[in-house]
Structure 1
Amino acid sequence: VTFDESSLDKCLVGLSRHWLTDRLKSFLDEQGISYAVAKKKKGMTVGFVTFETVEQLRNAVEVLKENRSGGKQIKIADANRRSHQKLHAEGPVSNNGAATENSSDAAAPADGASGPEAAGASKRTVRDAVTPLAHMAYSDQLEHKKSSVAQLLKKLTRNAKKACPADVTLPDWISNAKQIGGLSCKLEGILESPVIDGYRNKCEFSVGHSLAGKKTVGFMLGNFREGVTAVEEPVDCPNVSAMSCKYAMIFQDFLQLSCLPAWNRVDNSGFWRQFTVREGRSPAQAVVAQDTQTQISEVMIIIQVCSTGVDEVLMKDEFAKLSKTLVQGAATCSPPLPLTTIVVQDHVGISNVAPADCPLIPLLAPEVDQSEEGAVDKTRIHDHISNLRFSLSPTAFFQVNTLAAERLYTLAGDWANLNSDTLLFDVCCGTGTIGLTLAHRVGMVVGIEMNESAVVDAQRNALINGIKNCRFVCGKG
C-alpha cells in the first residue's frame, strides 16, 4: 500500500458481496476508522474509500490487520484514479446541471479493476473476455465444449443421486447412467455452426471509459462484481460482425463530441449507457453461409440512455445530432451500410437490462409494411429463419446466430420424430421461432411465455407467415 498525500484513494478487498455503502460505512465506524468518502455496491467484493490524511490511512491499515470481519481478512490496496478522473474530484458541470463524466467522488482503479484483479485486468484483452476460446482451433473448441457438457451431465447425475432419500428408489435415468459413463443422458456430440465468424445478428455494446479514460463503445474487460469497469473497443472479436463494429465506431466518434457523459458503473451516473445493433437478413433461400455480411438488408440501432436530471431540450438536440451522425456514417461507408430504424431506450435502473415497458423513442422510422396484420409501430426490422419471416421489435428476444438456429431446429425435429399427431409445447417461446419453424411438421403448437410483449410478437409472426396451427399464451396469471 502506498502511503502518500497524492495517493489516498484506496480499495478495500475481501468485503461481503451483500454489503452496500451504508454497511461499509457502519463497519468502518465500528472499527474506529476515519475516512472522507466510502462507497460499496452489492455484488462486488471490493469497496472504494478515500482518506483525508496519510495518518487516517495508516490507522486503517493497522486496524484491519488486527480485526477480521466474519472471519475474513479485509485488506487495503492502491486504487489510482483513471486519467480522466484525476482532474478534480468535483469535476466540471455540464449545462444540464449534472456532473460530467469527469466527475467521480469514488476512487476507481486505473485499469477498471482493484486490488488483486488490477494486474490481471490490465493484461486482458476484449477478445479474451468475450471469446475466451478464440485462441483455439475451431475443432478444438468443439472438443472443449463437448467435454464441458459431459462434465455438467455427470454432475447432474451425482447431485440428483445425493438428493434422493435413502428409502426412495432411484429414477431409471440415474440407475442407467453407469452404462453411459455417468452421464444423465446420452451425449450425441457438438455440431459445427454453419458460420463461425461475425455470426451475431445482435450485439449489445457497453458505453463507458477505456483504460486510458477515453469514452468507449465496446465490451467490459471483466465482471463488474470483481471490480472491473473498463470498456474497450470490440477489436478482433470473432463473434461480432464487421457491420456492428463499424456502427459502434461511428457512435464512439460521436461520443467524443457529446456534452452528455458516458455511464459510470461505480456511482450509477451518466447519460449514454448502451449501444445495440440488430441485423436482419434477406430471405433464407438467398443466403450463402460464407457471405452473410452482404445478406444483411435491415439494421436497427438501439441507444440506451438515462435521462434523469438532463434538460429535455438539450437531450433532443443531442438525439438530432446522433441521428444525423449515424445516417451520414452509414451512407459514407464503402459499401454503404443499411439503416432501417433508430430507437432510444430511456432506462433509469442500475443494470442495463431494462423492463419490457421501458419508454422507447423512435429517432428514425421505416415505412410500415402494410402486408403485416396488426402492424402498430414503426420501430421494427425483419429477419428470416427457414424461409419464415420474423418481425422484430426493439425488445424482442431472437436467435443471435440464425443459420445455426436453422440447423438446430431441423435436427431437433428429426430427433423428436415429429408427425401430424404431435402436440408441440414451446416453453419460453420468445418470438415463437422454434414452434413456428416446426409447425409444418406437427398437428398443433402451443407456445408459453412470461413476457407479454414476446407473446404479441409470436402471434404477429404466426400471422405474417400464415401459420394457423399455433397458439401462444402468456404464462402470467
Structure 2
Amino acid sequence: MEDCSSSHVTEAAPPKEGEAADALSDNTYVSTAGEGEVTLDTSIYGYIKQDLFTSEIFKVEIRNLPKFIGFNDLKKFLAKHGLNPHKIKLFGKHTFAFVTFKNEEERNKAVKMVHGMQWKGQVLSVKLAKPKADPIQRKRKQEEAEGLLGQPPSKQAEGNDKEEPPSVQIANVVTPLWNVPYEQQLKRKEEDVVAVLQRLAKEIASTNRAMVPWLFEGKGKQNRMCCPLEAICPSPTQTEYRNKCEFLISVGADGEDKTIGFRLGKYKGGSCAVVGPAEVCHVSAEAKKVVHAFQKFIRSTPYTVYSPEMYEGHWKQLTVRTTRTKQAMAIVFFNPQKLRETELGALKNSMKEYFSEGEGKDSGITSLYFVREGQRKSPNVEDLPCELVAGDSWIHEELLGLTFRISPHSFFQVNTAGAEVLYSAVGEWAQLDQDSIVLDVCCGTGTIGISLAKRVKKVIGIELCQEAVEDAKVNAKLNGLSNVEFHCGKAEDLFPNILSALVSPKVTAIVDPPRAGLHSKVILAIRRAEHLKRLIYVACNAKAAMNNFIDLCRSPSNRVHGAPFQPVRAIAVDMFPQTTHFEMVMLFERVDYNSQQQMNNQKEALSSS
C-alpha cells in the first residue's frame, strides 16, 4: 500500500538510476555500431561522475523496431541474445527505444550484437545515446541567458509572471484544491469515479461478451457505469488530517539555507527550492511544531543540505509521523559523505541532547531516528536501516477502538479518521460471519484484518515490508486476537499458495495494493480459486488499477482460468481533502454461470411468448 496524496514529495535526483529520456531534445546521438565515444557537454551533464553509478552513461538507441511490440517483447528479445538491460523506454509508438546497461562491456556487446540484426522482418539499427541532461543544470543555463541566475526562486517566479507568494505557490503544489469549497471537491472526485466505472463498463463489454446483456440491463439505471455508485464519503476532518508527511531539506524559496518543507516544483522541472509547511492546511500543528524545532537544530550544525545536483552535502529529508495519542516520530535522512564515525557519533549525541534536554525538548518528539543515505545507487527507503537516537522505538495509534503499533517504515493510512470511514465501509460490504476467512492482501500494519477479526473465523495477512509484518503481529496481540496470522513477502509469491490451501466456501479477499495495483500473478491466482466468491478492492489510484479490474472480469482463456468476477457496487472515500486524490472501494462477486444461463433462458422464453 502507498500514500497517494501529493504531500509525498520525495523526488528523484537527476536520472542516476538509469531513467530513460522522456524528451528527445535531451539526447543527441553518434553514428553506429559502437565506434567512438559520446562527447558530453559537462555543463548540463554534471551529475555524471566516475564514483557515482548511473546507467545513463551506458545508453543506446535502438531504431526500426517491429510494429506493435511492447516492453516485455523487447526485454525477451534482448534476453534471448544474452543481453541484460538495466532500463528500457519505448518511444514513437514503439518504433524506437532507449536502453541502458549496467556497464560499458554490456552496452558495447549490445551494440555489436543487435545492430543489423533482423527481427520480425525489420533490420534493427543501434546508436550510442547521450545521457539525459540534468534538468537543474539546463535550467541554470536558461536563467543565465535570461539574467535570472543567482536570484531566489521566488524572484525567478516573478520573472516568469508568477506573482503569488511562496505560501500560495506551495499550497497550489501540495494541496491543489485548497481554495475550492469542500462540497465541490467531493463532486469533482465523484465525477472522476463515474468516469472510471463508465470506462470499465466498455472494457468489460469488449473483453467478456457474455456479460454484455448484464451490462446493458444495468447501464440505463447507472449512467453507463458498470455497477451502482454510492454517494462519496467525506473525510471527517478536512484540514490538519495528515499523520505522516515527508519533508525535503534544501534551500528555501526565499534563498534561506537549511529549510525544511515541500519542494516548490519537480526536480525534472529544474527546481530544488522548498517552502516550509507553516501555512499548508493539511499538515497537523504537531508536525509543524516538529519541523520548526528540527529546522532550528540543523541550522545550528555545520553541515550543509544535500544537493541532488552536485551530490554534495548532508541533510536530505525529514519524515514526521504523529498520532491521536500525542506521540510524534521524526526520521531524519543524512548523507555522511566522508565524515568519520566519531563525527557522526558527535552529531547524533548533540541531536539526542537537543531534543531530550535542550531547545527541542518541547517539540513533541517521542521517537527520534537517524538514517544514513549513501551516494551510490539508493535502495528502497524501506531497506535503509533506521538507528534510534532518542525516545521510544515505536509510536501507537488508536483506530476503531483498537491500538496499533507503528514502526518507521510501516504503512499506515495517512488520514486516521478517514481510515475509520474506509474500513467501516469495507467491513459492511464484506458480509462476514463466524465461518468467514478473510485474506488481507497488502495489509500493512494489519489494520483492516485486525478491525474485522472478531467477526470472522480467521484472518490471513500478506505484506512485503518486514517491519510492518512485525508490527501487525504485535498489533494482533495488543488487541487480544488469536485468530490472525501474517506472512511477509511479495503478494504474487505468497498469495497463490495460501489461497490454494484454503477450501472454505466462505473466503473473502480484501486487497489494498500500492497505486500500481496487484501483480498479474495475484489476479490470475484469484481467478483460478473458484471457491473465492467475493473480493473487495481498495484502490488509491483507480485508473492505475484498471488493468486489474479488467482481468478480474474478462472471459476465461488460456492465460486466465476460472469464472470471472463482476463489479457489484462502488464507493469513493475522500481520504485526501484539498487534493485530487481519493480511495475507491469496489465489491466484485464471482459470476455463477449456471444461474446466469438460467436467467438468460428465462428472458428468452418470456420474449418469445
Q: How does 1:396-435 map to 2 (within 5 A)?
A: 396-435=410-449
User: Tell me, which stretches of 5 or more residues in structure 1 are unaligned?
Assistant: 1-15, 52-56, 62-74, 85-109, 283-295, 367-378
Secondary structure of the structure 1 residue equivalent to 2:352: helix
Structure 2 counterpart SS, 1:143: helix
Out of 212, 218, 222, the position equivalent to 2:254 is: 212
- Who is 1:450 aligned against? 464
- Output aligned runs, 1:222-301, within 5 Å: 222-282=265-325, 296=326, 298-301=327-330
Is 1:203 equivalent to 2:214 in the alignment?
A: no
Give the letter for the 1:205 counterpart: F
Task: Name the CA shift for 1:212/1:193 in 2 (closer, same or farther; >3 Å).
Answer: same
Corresponding residue SS for 2:449:
helix
TM-score normalised by the chain length of structure 1: 0.69
1:275: Cα distance to partner? 0.9
Give deviations 1:308-356, integer Å, cap 9, x for gaps.
322322222222223333343444xxxx443322110112268988443
What is the CA-CA distance between 1:130 and the residue it aligns to? 0.9
> 1:83 Cα deviation (Å)?
5.2
Q: Report the counterpart of residue 355 of structure 2 in structure 1.
A: 326
Among residues 189, 193, 196, which one is paired with 1:152 in the alignment?
Answer: 196
Cα shift at 1:154: 2.3
Q: CA deviation at 1:45?
A: 7.9
Matching residue of 2:481: 467
Whether the 8 Å contact between 1:113 and 1:228 is mirrored in structure 2 is no
Which amino acid in the other structure matches residue 343 of structure 1?
Answer: Y
Cα deviation for residue 303 of structure 1 reads 0.7
Matching residue of 2:187: 143
Deviation, 1:302, is: 0.9
**CA 1:330–1:259: 2 relative to 1, 3 Å:** closer
Q: Residue by residue, what CA displacement relative to the aligned partner does 1:163-208 show, whole Å, maximum 9, x if unpaired?
A: x38xx54567755445412223322121122222211111211111
Match of 2:365 among 339, 351, 354: 339
Change (3 A) 1:191 1:325: same
C-alpha distance in 2 between matches for 1:313 and 1:417: 59
Question: Residues of 1 paired with 2:151 and 2:162: CA distance?
Answer: 17
Give the match for residue 11 of structure 1: none
What is the correspondence of 1:62-73 to structure 2 with a 5 Å cutoff? Answer: none
1:38 alignment partner, SS class: coil
2:569 maps to: none
Alignment of 1:342-353 (within 5 A): 342-348=368-374
Classify the secondary structure of the residue corresponding to 1:424: strand
Alpha-carbon offset, residue 27 of structure 1? 4.8
Match of 1:303 among 321, 332, 335: 332
Amino-acid identity (%): 29
Name the CA distance, whole Å, in 1 between partners of 2:320 and 2:225: 39
Tell me if the contact between 1:205 and 1:274 (Cα under 8 Å) persists in the aligned partners.
yes
Q: How far did residue 221 of structure 1 move?
A: 1.4
Shift of 1:82: 4.2
Which letter maps to 1:138? Y
CA distance in 1, matches of 2:270, 2:175: 20
Deviation at 1:241, TM superposition (A): 0.5
Write the mapping of 1:91-130 to structure 2, written as runs, cut at 5 A.
Answer: 110=153, 125-130=169-174
CA distance in 2, matches of 1:121, 1:269: 31
**1: distance between equivalents of 2:310 and 2:335?**
13
Q: Which runs of 5+ in 2 are unaligned?
A: 1-17, 48-55, 57-88, 90-131, 494-609
Task: Report the TM-score when normalising by structure 2.
Answer: 0.55
Cα pair 2:250 2:259 within 8 Å, conserved: yes
Q: Is the 8 A contact 2:290 2:365 kept in 1?
A: no
Flag the 1:34–1:267 CA change in 2: closer, same or farther, 3 A.
Answer: closer
1:360 to 386, 389, 401: 386
Shift of 1:132: 0.7
Larger relative contact order, structure 1 or 2 (CA cutoff 8 Å, min sep 6): 2
Which letter does structure 1 place at the counterpart of 2:333? Q
Taking only aligned residues, the RMSD between alpha carbons, in angstroms, comes to 3.9
Q: Distance in 1 between matches of 2:147 and 2:45?
A: 13
Paired residue secondary structure (1:37): coil
Instruction: State whether structure 2 residue 344 is matched by structure 1 residue 315.
Output: yes
SS where residue 322 of structure 2 aligns?
strand
- Tell me the CA shift for residue 242 of structure 1: 0.7
Q: How many residues align?
A: 381
In structure 2, do the counterparts of structure 1 residues 311 and 158 end up closer, same or farther at CA, with 3 Å as the change threshold? farther
Distance change (3 Å), C-alpha of 1:350 and 1:417: farther
2:45 is the alignment partner of 1:39: yes
More deviation in 146-155 or 420-429? 146-155
C-alpha spacing 1:196/1:250, structure 2 compared with 1 (3 Å): same
Q: Secondary structure at the match of 2:289?
A: helix
Q: Are the aligned partners of 1:127 and 1:134 in contact in 2 as well (CA < 8 Å)?
A: yes
